């Protein structure tokens, strides 16, 4: 059984809006407006326990899921949303052993997700010219124990991609069409390219370029997630939902 | 580089609506209304090549992605859609090494997806009382080389789940609330339960039961995916979309 | 040409988030954080003019549309959203000359909309037991010059509807199923009933009851409206959207 | 009470997918695969009656609603969908007495809807260069008794709009930006322009042009309607929905 260690991330959960992702080593005492939680005293205990603050408010100590981790990366830069990452993983088939390339490390949220999925047999290569972003991403990847599966390079993918025979490439840059030729070279035969396109114009221009380069099954999707508030006799969809994050464009390389 | 073998699945792709998932060993000649493709002659060649039928119609020979495989399982029974599987993988964090339980093997589409994600370090346990379904699922899992990561049991999960310390459990049965207590026992501390609920009433009843059993962060979502037809100067969303497949309810176990 | 009068409502518009619906008679000087607008000086001028505040900020003086008016009613109570009212008008065919019944005056937003649509040849009958709500609604209807087309009754429609041969009835109460028999009596042959159902449970129960009472073509819909931020080279859907207001259930009376 | 006449349109309704819009004068006997309905014998009876075919299949005789009529126009050309028309009526405030202009008569579905809404005090002016379309639209408008409120002109609105002081103008042409200046002249001060834009590119280009011409509150929306299948204990959204018909762009004229 998985026990809480000093450097384990724990999700202290009260409800959907009040939750904290901390480590006992950094945050021995978690101060909330509901009282103080003695995180240090949780070390050695199992995840999933029900505890209380000094003001006797009930809190749940959970093991963070991938989504908790991804949302934690969302600090300084735009983060790719879990709903979009989910479809990228599924469509590209990123899994145990995959070799994944990423242009635009950004916050590192996608990097971390891919590192989590590919495990020790796979690897993630992530380029970004912004070294400040990469330093933040590196620190986060280290903290979450994901750095071994990742190589971060302070490089512009437009000037070339050093890796080859990659299973998947994700492009998260403002001008993804500029990367298509390089991505094609770097991908293994029949490899899948995905790109984040906030606007319809980007998707339009990228699609045209990908078709020119011989990508097939070029498709653009948008993903909408709506919560259902399920309560006995009063079930209704959530009043609020996110209307748009980005389009995601996919294509498969042919010779 | 990955070369096509006699028993490799290949996706013969023409366009979004015309594609075939076959193996040279089963289908040495693929007969289509666009002419015949000599699949046997593809053995030893790389994926991603562009070829032609006897009627000189261009076809692309692709390596199947996870989505191609999942859709192939959709024969006799209802299949869980890729969009919903994607969110389950993301929210539950199913990845290299995960131990996953499934109640309701059905077509085996989810089973295959999870087997694909967890890789050799993980494992998937899938129960179904319908042995006919399981035989079909087993055969498919064998063909796609995923059976080693899966244990299929002809059992009713309502009578007990033999495994323990599982990371995730997916329930795909008409009365998921009947499984909640058993799933709780089988999950590792802080493990995530997910359930497929085609109706709002199922989500409502399940949610109540999960909260009673101490699950927290109980949420129900629905996922909508819409295609964007990206064409220069004529970009518009797809006229057709799937309005509903199912709700998915998630919760995390606490003690 | 329509000129601004002392008691005309004018929409002072700056942008989507900053707009004011006022009358010169009530608000001769409109104080905003962008400066003061001399509304009194607008009397006698045409709608559509471009003017400026004392701080030289540009403002547009528009004639309020139906939507501006509806949103103005949204003060004390829940308002039926324009998107839902739009579908009710269309599906029920509320138009010049219609005789419309409403159970639940509420804020009067729907009452005002229907009064606006039916014109001098038609009429709207609206019942509510909450006289406080009706007083507010009456005052608003008077201000907007719509009261002549409306009869407000401080009555509970469950105890009977005095009108007959109505073209359409809208029910906006928590237990719409209790009204079905009375509405049936009040409607003209083949008349259309519509009901606001915030939850799926309400729609479910109402649907059953309507079918029992011989209503046909009983359908429940939800309407989602998403904005497209159309900007040259940067067109994308709006990040925020309303996920749910209510379901609307419709049915047609048969003998 | 409204009785069925020889030339009344009646909606013979069996279920959502089987319904017929006919007149006794044209169709004295309605032949269906469920048997024959003697429509001639319905003359003089009230709407809403329950009747039967020669094969004893139950049918309902309904008075057509606006939506039934609109869908009937959808024969030869693309029709603007009721959901989009509903939002146009609401946002533009088309009602008893409105003076409405339309560029692109097309099938006449929007023309008929507006004629229905504005009643005897209002009027609809509709231009189309395609006289074949207009002849079909005219015949339909006559049949439904809506022609008196409509003036059809075989003219290209790009060459000028003869009417002025219009409350609303709807543009349903492939290049709506070419009409903006003419529409501006024809609209009354603060009048509302709406335009049908199937693609995002059209909305983008039109928006830019409208802003240049001094329109304010320029907004583009899309409307999604999803059915809820409300059945006791089995309530779920409809599996099928329309993903996209068109964007609708709105703006208000200023000087």
| CA-based nearest residue in chain B for residue C237 | B237
Residue C79 has pLDDT above 80, yes or no: no
- Of residues C77 and C114, which shows the higher confidence score? C114
Pairing of β B166-171 and β B187-197: parallel
Backbone angles phi, psi at D158, to 5 degrees: -65, -25
pLDDT in tens, C200-241: 999 999 999 999 999 999 999 999 999 999 999 999 999 999
Indicate yes or no: CB of A228 within 8 angstroms of CB of B216.
no
Burial class from Cβ neighbours inside 10 Å (0-12, 13-18, 19+) for residue B75 reads exposed
Beta bridge mates, B125: B101, B151
Structure tokens given for B61 = 């020979």
D252 inside 8 A of chain C by CB? yes
Confidence at residue C190, expressed as pLDDT on a 0 to 100 scale: 93
Alpha-carbon distance D247 to D88, whole Å?
11
Q: Chain B: give the shortest CA distance to residue A71, in Å.
A: 12
- Other beta carbons less than 10 A from residue A25's beta carbon: 13
Residue B75 has pLDDT above 70, yes or no: no
Candidates A204, B252, C81, A55; CA nearest to D199 is A204
**Chain B, 202-221: which have a CB under 8 Å from a chain C CB?**
204
Average pLDDT, chain B: 94
Indicate yes or no: CB of D222 within 8 angstroms of CB of B237.
yes
Q: Chain C: give the shortest CA distance to residue A243, in Å.
A: 5
Q: Chain D: give the shortest CA distance to residue C113, in Å.
A: 9
Chain B interface mutation, best of A70, A189, A205, highest count of B Cβ atoms under 10 Å: A189
Q: Chain B: give the shortest CA distance to residue D236, in Å.
A: 5
Average pLDDT, chain C: 94
Candidates C191, C119, C149, C192; CA nearest to D1 is C191
Alpha-carbon distance C137 to C116, whole Å?
14
Indicate yes or no: CB of C244 within 8 angstroms of CB of A235.
no
Confidence at residue B76, expressed as pLDDT on a 0 to 100 scale: 54
Out of D238, D244, D245, the one facing B244 most closely (by C-beta) is: D238
Alpha-carbon distance A195 to A175, whole Å?
10
Confidence at residue B91, expressed as pLDDT on a 0 to 100 scale: 95
pLDDT in tens, D72-103: 876 656 678 999 999 999 999 999 999 999 99
pLDDT band at A2 (very low <50, low <70, confident <90, very high): confident
Indicate yes or no: CB of C67 within 8 angstroms of CB of D90.
yes
Chain A residues whose CB is inside 8 A of the B16 CB are 217, 219
- Other beta carbons less than 10 A from residue B158's beta carbon: 15
- As a whole number of Å, the CA-based R_g of chain B is 20
Length in residues, chain B: 255
Query: Which helix (H) or strand (E) covers residue D144, if one does?
Result: none
Chain B residues whose CB is inside 8 A of the D243 CB are 226-227, 237-241
Alpha-carbon distance D101 to D191, whole Å?
11
Chain C interface mutation, best of B200, B221, B237, B243, highest count of C Cβ atoms under 10 Å: B200
Left, alpha or beta for B210 (phi > 0: left; psi -120 to 50: alpha)? alpha
Chain B residues whose CB is inside 8 A of the C201 CB are 204
Chain B residues whose CB is inside 8 A of the C204 CB are 201
Three-state secondary structure along A102-128? EECCCCCHHHHHHHHHHCCCCEEEEEC
Burial class from Cβ neighbours inside 10 Å (0-12, 13-18, 19+) for residue A161 reads buried
D222 inside 8 A of chain B by CB? yes
Confidence at residue A1, expressed as pLDDT on a 0 to 100 scale: 67
Indicate yes or no: CB of A208 within 8 angstroms of CB of B83.
no
Chain A residues whose CB is inside 8 A of the D207 CB are none
D160 inside 8 A of chain B by CB? no
Quick check: D249 and D207 in contact, CB under 8 A? yes
Maximum separation of any 2 CA atoms in chain D, in Å? 65
Q: Chain B: give the shortest CA distance to residue C79, in Å.
A: 25
Chain C interface mutation, best of D217, D224, D231, highest count of C Cβ atoms under 10 Å: D217
Query: Which helix (H) or strand (E) covers residue C66, if one does?
Result: helix C66-73
Chain D residues whose CB is inside 8 A of the A200 CB are 200
Q: Chain A: give the shortest CA distance to residue D204, in Å.
A: 10
Alpha-carbon distance A60 to A49, whole Å?
6
Chain D interface mutation, best of A200, A222, A233, A234, highest count of D Cβ atoms under 10 Å: A200
Burial class from Cβ neighbours inside 10 Å (0-12, 13-18, 19+) for residue D233 reads exposed
Could you tell me where the beta strands, DSSP code E, fall in chain C?
Answer: 10-15, 18-22, 29-32, 35-38, 50-52, 58-62, 99-103, 123-127, 150-153, 166-171, 187-197, 216-229, 236-237, 240-242, 247-252
Please tell me whether residue D25 adopts helix, strand or coil conformation.
coil
- Other beta carbons less than 10 A from residue B232's beta carbon: 10
Q: What is the ipTM of this complex?
A: 0.94
Confidence at residue B183, expressed as pLDDT on a 0 to 100 scale: 98
B230 inside 8 A of chain D by CB? no
Left, alpha or beta for D165 (phi > 0: left; psi -120 to 50: alpha)? left
pLDDT in tens, D124-166: 999 999 999 899 999 999 999 999 999 999 999 999 999 999 9
Indicate yes or no: CB of D200 within 8 angstroms of CB of B235.
yes
Alpha-carbon distance C54 to A200, whole Å?
40
Candidates C196, C201, C205, C164; CA nearest to C182 is C164
Alpha-carbon distance A9 to A21, whole Å?
6
Pairing of β C187-197 and β B29-32: unpaired
C200 inside 8 A of chain B by CB? yes
Lowest mean pLDDT among A37-41, C12-16, D68-72: D68-72
Give the distance, in angstroms, between the CA of residue C214 and the centroid of all CA atoms in the same chain: 29
Average pLDDT on A205-215 reads: 97
B200 inside 8 A of chain C by CB? yes
Indicate yes or no: CB of B238 within 8 angstroms of CB of D243.
yes
List Cβ neighbours of C135 (8 Å cut-off, separation of 6 or more).
Answer: none
Q: Chain B: give the shortest CA distance to residue C200, in Å.
A: 8
Quick check: D249 and D203 in contact, CB under 8 A? yes
Alpha-carbon distance B46 to B44, whole Å?
7
Q: Give residue for tokens 């028309």.
A: D85
To 10 degrees, the CA torsion angle through B85, B69, B67, B97?
Answer: 50
Indicate yes or no: CB of D238 within 8 angstroms of CB of B237.
no
D224 inside 8 A of chain A by CB? no
Quick check: B88 and B248 in contact, CB under 8 A? yes
Out of B2, B190, B203, the one facing A48 most closely (by C-beta) is: B190
Residue B69 has pLDDT above 70, yes or no: yes
pLDDT in tens, A21-54: 999 999 999 999 889 999 999 999 999 999 999 9
Backbone angles phi, psi at C68, to 5 degrees: -60, -40
> Which chains are within 8 Å of D by 3+ CB pairs?
A, B, C
Chain C residues whose CB is inside 8 A of the B204 CB are 201
| CA-based nearest residue in chain D for residue B242 | D240
Alpha-carbon distance C32 to C59, whole Å?
11
pLDDT band at C76 (very low <50, low <70, confident <90, very high): low
Indicate yes or no: CB of A216 within 8 angstroms of CB of B93.
no
Number of H-type helices and E-type strands within chain A: 6, 15
Instruction: Output the CA angle C84-C86-C87, nearest 5 degrees.
Output: 70
Instruction: Give the percent of chain A with pLDDT over 90.
Output: 87
Quick check: A255 and B51 in contact, CB under 8 A? no
CA atoms C19, C21, C24, C25: torsion sign: negative
Candidates B248, B178, B187, B246; CA nearest to B215 is B187
Structure tokens given for D244 = 């996209």
Confidence at residue A73, expressed as pLDDT on a 0 to 100 scale: 78
Out of A91, A229, A255, the one facing B65 most closely (by C-beta) is: A91
Alpha-carbon distance B48 to D106, whole Å?
46
Please tell me whether residue C142 adopts helix, strand or coil conformation.
helix
Indicate yes or no: CB of B87 within 8 angstroms of CB of A2.
no
Give the distance, in angstroms, between the CA of residue C179 and the centroid of all CA atoms in the same chain: 21
Residue B225 per-residue DSSP state: E
pLDDT in tens, A128-162: 999 998 999 999 999 999 999 999 999 999 999 99
In chain C, the N- to C-terminal Cα span, in Å, equals 48
- Other beta carbons less than 10 A from residue A138's beta carbon: 18
Three-state secondary structure along D2-20? CECCCCCCEEEEEECCEEE
Alpha-carbon distance C92 to B15, whole Å?
43
| CA-based nearest residue in chain A for residue B110 | A90
Q: Chain C: give the shortest CA distance to residue A11, in Å.
A: 28
Indicate yes or no: CB of B62 within 8 angstroms of CB of A165.
no
Give the distance, in angstroms, between the CA of residue B91 and the centroid of all CA atoms in the same chain: 15
pTM comes to 0.95
Order of strands, sheet of A18-22, starting from the edge strand that comes earlier in the sequence: A18-22, A10-15, A58-62, A50-52
Q: Chain C: give the shortest CA distance to residue D41, in Å.
A: 17
Candidates D92, B194, B115; CA nearest to C63 is D92
CA atoms within 13 A on the CB side of B165: 7
pLDDT in tens, B4-47: 999 999 999 999 889 999 999 999 999 998 899 999 999 999 99
List Cβ neighbours of B112 (8 Å cut-off, separation of 6 or more).
Answer: B69, B70, B73, B137, B140, B141, B144, B146
Out of B199, B236, B241, the one facing D234 most closely (by C-beta) is: B199
């Amino acid at each position: 059984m998985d026990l809480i260690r000093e450097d384990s991330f724990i999700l202290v959960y009260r409800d959907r809006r009040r939750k904290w992702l901390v480590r006992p080593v950094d945050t021995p005492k978690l101060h909330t407006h509901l009282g103080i939680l003695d995180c240090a005293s949780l070390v050695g205990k199992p995840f999933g326990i029900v505890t209380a603050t000094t003001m006797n408010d009930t809190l749940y100590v959970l093991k963070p899921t991938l989504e908790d981790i991804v949302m934690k990366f969302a600090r300084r830069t735009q983060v790719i949303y879990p709903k979009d990452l989910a479809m990228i993983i599924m469509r590209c088939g990123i899994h145990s052993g995959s070799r994944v390339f990423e242009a635009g490390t950004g916050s590192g949220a996608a990097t971390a997700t891919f590192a989590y999925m590919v495990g020790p047999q796979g690897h993630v290569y992530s380029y970004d010219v912004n070294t400040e972003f990469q330093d933040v991403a590196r620190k986060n990847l280290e903290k979450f124990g994901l750095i071994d599966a990742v190589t971060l390079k302070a490089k512009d993918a437009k000037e070339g991609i050093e890796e080859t025979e990659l299973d998947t490439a994700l492009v998260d840059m403002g001008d993804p069409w500029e990367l298509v030729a390089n991505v094609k070279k770097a991908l293994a035969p029949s490899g899948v390219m995905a790109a984040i396109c906030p606007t319809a114009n980007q998707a339009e221009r990228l699609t045209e370029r990908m078709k020119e380069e011989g990508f097939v099954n070029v498709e653009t999707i948008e993903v909408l997630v709506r919560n259902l508030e399920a309560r006995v006799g009063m079930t209704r969809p959530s009043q609020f939902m996110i209307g748009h994050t980005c389009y995601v464009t996919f294509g498969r390389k042919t010779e």
